[in-house]
Chains A and B, each alone.
Chain A
């Protein structure tokens, strides 16, 4: 694929291009608005680079197929939206439990249920965190622009390989369907799966290594025969019900993310140095929020913006640091206040929300109304 200097791109297209640049060579998906362009684009482009595109019978099997491909050593991805995301939860949990690197793109539309297929939303913030049964951490990224659809998808693959974890690209329908002129970066960092450092007889795919080092996942067929299961397993991968082993298995999932928050969490701060009010916004809403900051500053109001690029794990420490300086948090979202709830956890009684669930985008004026009403 040639990398052009200036391109007019669609968010979904940029996401698919980012995946190709990251080395993704198998896509399995099922058509659903507003994510379908990703599948359409890859059905054309993947065969050109010797990769595989397959349209599966549903989202359940799409998620299963990308896990299988990853186990065979190929970087893989699927893309979907709300109802399909619900169907993927079962195998997403499997990927988390069995520690299989893969990327799931969810271009959010209005819900619940069939909801508003052609209207954007940010209604899956909590589903992306808590949608599966049981408890496991997850990495979720939220792009705000077409360029970020490209760069963050590459980053998503890197995180997936680095932490042997499924990673979710949580795009809202606006970002996915937005057209922008972009300059793709000339140089990108691509992390590939590391080689194992031990011979097959010593290989334990789920070992707890000192310092939290993550065991490389050796592809099937390379002489490292091992067992992979969604059941709680011991370090060699076999099912176990021994208390200590159960705890080790589940704790490890938590700590491999928790111990690396500094590496995983990305945020963007805008005019926060002297701010009295901090807007917390992600995705397309962050674009409106940035504009609101500019308007507020023109009016002499000290307003800044915190944009979580990594939505999960949630940048709680950043928020807590900012909360020492600011008087109020304003949290605009295209849902009833899912990130708002997280902000409240860190800064109780000092946050207000701006919600919008009617399928229209949050406007800077709407955010300004809340800021002006706060009467500081």
Chain B
């Protein structure tokens, strides 16, 4: 624990903008802890990391961590990150987004970043709700759930973020939860090291805006639900189709070795007779 606290302290901006904005019981702090441990494990210096975030509860993470940090507009974090990476390929860029940020307003940017396979790491914190604006339903709110804009229950089919990004061509796709915090930091360090576009979905409880309205219990109850319903990918695949209830796979779901955008672009430069990288 002492070691963990020391590590966290090393990466926080303690004298700047604390206390943080997250509610008691929120999972985003756990995810931030996992991210810090993952970065520590990869051995990159603070100067080599750029942390880009979108808008919403998760978007505030960039304020608290001592890297080159960029808090962008809602849904557009991947666009800004793309520009940074293309301008300076030496930088390691981690993009933190929420579920609404990444898959609703930023959905177009997400699918095209997957398709281009740009060497970025996307951390999508999925709490199934728009927390900061007061609990409106997001593209990952399950069917028939209550939200402040779905008082009679949601009628829209939710996205499975991992399936979405896999279909769009991401090189590395993994899922973990705030219950599986150590697995989450392992997934994140793999994702940061991975060349190409990697996506890690972190399921994270929002007891205040999502849990309370949907009688999911306390933050701990919600984390226990992650524990009880998660399976390793091989175990999940053994469940016959049609019998999958609320269960979901965690761990590495996709791990491909494909040339990333910059590798391909260097071929273009060569064809044009230019000189770069």
- Which A residues form the contact surface with B (CB < 8 A)? 25-26, 28, 44, 47-52, 54, 56-58, 60-74, 76, 90-91, 94, 219-223, 225-231, 236, 238-239
Residue B72, interface by CB 8 Å = yes
Is B83 a contact partner of A64 (Cβ separation < 8 A)?
yes
Residue B79, interface by CB 8 Å = yes
A72-B91, A236-B16, A239-B17 are known contacts. Are A66 and B73 too (CB-CB below 8 A)? no
Is A61 a contact partner of B63 (Cβ separation < 8 A)?
no
Is B86 a contact partner of A26 (Cβ separation < 8 A)?
yes
Tell which of A51, A221, A223, A230 touches B73, judged by Cβ atoms closer than 8 Å: A230
Is A73 a contact partner of B79 (Cβ separation < 8 A)?
no
The minimal Cβ–Cβ distance linking B271 to chain A, given in whole angstroms, is: 7
The minimal Cβ–Cβ distance linking A20 to chain B, given in whole angstroms, is: 12
Residue B70, interface by CB 8 Å = yes
Is B83 a contact partner of A26 (Cβ separation < 8 A)?
yes
Chain B 84-116, CB within 8 Å of chain A: the 1/0 string?
111110110000000000000000110010000
How many residues of B sit at the interface, in one of the four size bands?
35 or more
Task: Chain A residues near B112: list those with CB within 8 A.
Answer: 56-57, 61
Residue B225, interface by CB 8 Å = no
Of the listed stretches B43-51, B129-137, B184-192, chain A binds B43-51
Is B86 a contact partner of A67 (Cβ separation < 8 A)?
no
Residue B272, interface by CB 8 Å = yes
Tell which of B68, B269, B273 touches A225, judged by Cβ atoms closer than 8 Å: B68
Is A61 a contact partner of B109 (Cβ separation < 8 A)?
yes
Residue B248, interface by CB 8 Å = no
Task: Chain A residues near B271: list those with CB within 8 A.
Answer: 47
Is B71 a contact partner of A228 (Cβ separation < 8 A)?
yes
Q: Nearest 10 CB-CB pairs, A to B?
A: A68-B83, A64-B79, A65-B83, A61-B79, A47-B272, A72-B87, A50-B276, A229-B71, A74-B87, A69-B87
The minimal Cβ–Cβ distance linking B44 to chain A, given in whole angstroms, is: 11
Q: Can you spell out 8 A-B residue pairs with CB atoms less than 8 angstroms apart?
A: A26-B83, A26-B87, A49-B274, A61-B109, A68-B85, A72-B83, A74-B87, A239-B17
Residue in chain A with minimal CB distance to B277? A50
Tell which of B46, B52, B72, B275 touches A230, judged by Cβ atoms closer than 8 Å: B72
- Which B residues form the contact surface with A (CB < 8 A)? 16-17, 46-48, 50, 52, 62-63, 66-73, 76, 78-88, 90-91, 108-109, 112, 265, 268-269, 271-276
Is B268 a contact partner of A47 (Cβ separation < 8 A)?
yes
Q: How far is the CA of A239 from the CA of B272 in the complex (A)?
A: 44
Is A220 a contact partner of B76 (Cβ separation < 8 A)?
no
The minimal Cβ–Cβ distance linking B30 to chain A, given in whole angstroms, is: 22
A61-B109, A68-B81 are known contacts. Are A50 and B87 too (CB-CB below 8 A)? no
Q: How far is the CA of A225 from the CA of B49 in the complex (A)?
A: 10
The minimal Cβ–Cβ distance linking A108 to chain B, given in whole angstroms, is: 24
Tell which of B47, B68, B88, B273 touches A48, judged by Cβ atoms closer than 8 Å: B273
The minimal Cβ–Cβ distance linking B9 to chain A, given in whole angstroms, is: 16
Is A220 a contact partner of B88 (Cβ separation < 8 A)?
yes
Is A58 a contact partner of B70 (Cβ separation < 8 A)?
no
Tell which of A25, A91, A219, A223 touches B76, judged by Cβ atoms closer than 8 Å: A91
Residue in chain B with minimal CB distance to A61? B79
The minimal Cβ–Cβ distance linking B94 to chain A, given in whole angstroms, is: 13
A47-B274, A238-B16 are known contacts. Are A227 and B265 too (CB-CB below 8 A)? no
Residue in chain A with minimal CB distance to B67? A225
Is A76 a contact partner of B91 (Cβ separation < 8 A)?
no
The minimal Cβ–Cβ distance linking B159 to chain A, given in whole angstroms, is: 18
The minimal Cβ–Cβ distance linking B69 to chain A, given in whole angstroms, is: 5
The minimal Cβ–Cβ distance linking B14 to chain A, given in whole angstroms, is: 13
Other contacts beyond A56-B82, A68-B81: 15, CB < 8 A: A25-B87, A47-B271, A48-B272, A49-B274, A54-B86, A61-B79, A64-B83, A65-B79, A68-B83, A68-B85, A71-B70, A220-B70, A221-B88, A227-B70, A228-B70
Is A219 a contact partner of B63 (Cβ separation < 8 A)?
no
A57-B109, A221-B91, A225-B66 are known contacts. Are A68 and B84 too (CB-CB below 8 A)? yes
Is B273 a contact partner of A76 (Cβ separation < 8 A)?
no
A58-B108, A227-B69 are known contacts. Are A221 and B47 too (CB-CB below 8 A)? yes
